[in-house]
Structure 1
Amino acid sequence: MQQLDESQLSILLIEPSTTQLKIIMRELQAAGVKKIDGVSDAEAALDQIRRYPPDLVISAMYLPDSTAVELLQQIRAENAACLFMLISSETDPEALEPLRQAGVVAILPKPFQSEDLRRALHTTVDHVDPQELQLENYDPANLRVLLVDDSTTSRNHIGRILDSLGIGHIVKVENGLEAITHLQKQPFDLVVSDLNMPEMDGQALTQFVRKQLGDTFLPILIVTSEQDETRLSQVQQSGISALMDKPFEPEIIRQTLCRLLDGTD
């Protein structure tokens, strides 16, 4: 049972527009958040984070002295555990992709819906105060998971979430070819893989496991920011066990793992 709730979250809001700052603060307060600090640029934000690290940073995409991507890279370099949310009118997938790969809590549009903000805050609580995975057929501490992702940031982020669920053994590799080498040497209970990777992508890895290795039972979860519906349809037909978007919520991955490993929802 979680002890933390939204009222106990500490949030740093970075928004150059005074009007937008007030609007978002009002929405946060309506959602039950009580501890909110607001700044207008990245320099002030980093100074605040260094002195009083918040549970969550909420930022606009374009700041007077930086972008959200650059700010998040700096935050990750100094404080990897700091959670991050984007609220922006930016819709270019290429501009948003680095944030998706970095494992942000949520990417909300301007204007956003109040229920989407509340859901993102609930996800933040789940990150800050995670519930361990409860399985009937496995002890999470003994689960052997192979994590495949070419992005170091994404690999570390997903690894932290799996670790917070109580999973005890996680092997991390950069692409499908490295994954195959490990699969041929030792057994795993679960594969969590990115889709788009060099050398061998998640779809090709899945097909190799199903056909060349002849393993039709190993659960393979693909986690991706891919938006092309045709591509996603092809992936779903390749033998994967489940498909999940980046960014994702800990509760969603918890439910997905229960379904894959226990056959329950």
Structure 2
Amino acid sequence: MNRLELGDLSVILVEPSLTQRHIIDGYLSGLGISKIETFESGEAALGAMRRTPPDLVISTLYLPDMTGTDLVTTMRNEPLLVDTAYILISSETRFRFLDPIRQAGAIAILPKPFSEDDLKIALKSTVDYIETPEIHLDNIDTESLRILVVDDSQMARNHIRRLLEAMGMEQITEAENGSEGAQQVNDHYFDLVITDYNMPEMNGQEFIDYIRNNSLQPTIPILMITSESNQSRLAAVQQSGVSAICDKPFEPIILKRYLEKTLADENN
């Protein structure tokens, strides 16, 4: 079977600004994408998605009838659209507005203004999300690795699981928050923990502190994948002994590099 190409993508674009619609539509067309439907409102776009789910939805944050957060949250709560790829394009920079989008599993968040090359990178990540590429980790016995993935976003866990499975990992356990993750660490042995930062009940910082100070596996390597941008919080996480921190959203090749470094350091 031939691999999905950029030109094969079907896209719904939700943007109330005519000028911005023309710019984004022009970039998409320039990258060879011809199956593009444009809408000014979230409800109109949702109606079209429900009739024919697209491969990708691109929207701005502020729509006339809802926010991009409302749009993607609605998508994630509908079985037909739960796994549909989503990209946000926005001039918004405040964490409290962008983090819910990241937590909902956005493929990318592009700032305004952005270039066609920026969009191309995001679209390639979309293709990787839809058709997870086969990825090989160098000098690592992936089949024997036992991995714990801790994230309150089901879509984020699904995406990480698919990537890990594409790397040949089969023994993957999931937890919805740090509290559940701590229980898993108490009950089972793991070779690697992958965790988010912002989670209910017990956040990533508290979870890492628990592993390092209270568990029977205090030296287990921990990779944090997070949208957290507060540098003081991230510095505290580093001091807690996290092995690496990876930004969310991320590209598959980035996860591969972090895993190779983290696991290689553990074996040296």
- Name the CA distance, whole Å, in 2 between partners of 1:20 and 1:10: 19
| Equivalent residue letter for 1:249 | E
What's the CA shift for 1:109? 1.5
| Equivalent residue letter for 2:23 | I
Residues 53-106 of structure 1, C-alpha deviation per residue, up to 9 Å, x if partnerless? 211100111222221111111211221110000111222221111101111011
- Name the CA distance, whole Å, in 2 between partners of 1:62 and 1:168: 41
Residue 42 (structure 1) aligns with: 42
Structure 2 contact 189–217 (Cα < 8 Å) conserved: no
| Equivalent residue letter for 1:186 | H
Structure 1 contact 2–130 (Cα < 8 Å) conserved: no
Structure 1 contact 102–157 (Cα < 8 Å) conserved: no
- Name the CA distance, whole Å, in 1 between partners of 2:194 and 2:2: 26
Distance 1:64 1:166, change over 3 A: farther
What's the CA shift for 1:259? 2.8
- Structure 1 unaligned regions, length at least 5: none
Q: Secondary structure at the match of 2:77?
A: helix
Q: Which of these residues, 254, 257, 260, is aligned with residue 255 of structure 1?
A: 257
Verify: 1:3 aligned to 2:3, yes or no.
yes
The more displaced of 146-155 and 218-227 is: 146-155
Matches within 5 A, 1:86-125: 86-125=88-127
Distance 1:165 1:33, change over 3 A: farther
What's the CA shift for 1:4? 2.0
Identity score, percent: 46
Q: Which of these residues, 225, 228, 237, is aligned with residue 226 of structure 1?
A: 228
Q: TM-score, normalised by structure 2?
A: 0.87
Q: Give aligned pairs, total.
A: 263
Q: Secondary structure at the match of 1:62?
A: coil
Q: TM-score, normalised by structure 1?
A: 0.88
Verify: 1:137 aligned to 2:178, yes or no.
no
- Name the CA distance, whole Å, in 1 between partners of 2:111 and 2:195: 27
- Name the CA distance, whole Å, in 2 between partners of 1:143 and 1:50: 40
Structure 1 contact 2–129 (Cα < 8 Å) conserved: no
- Name the CA distance, whole Å, in 2 between partners of 1:128 and 1:134: 18
Q: Secondary structure at the match of 2:229?
A: coil
Matches within 5 A, 1:1-265: 3-78=3-78, 79-135=81-137, 136-140=139-143, 142-152=144-154, 154-163=156-165, 165-213=167-215, 215=217, 217-262=219-264
- Name the CA distance, whole Å, in 2 between partners of 1:245 and 1:111: 21
Root-mean-square deviation (CA, aligned residues, Å) is 2.5
Larger relative CO (CA 8 A, sep 6+): 1 or 2?
1
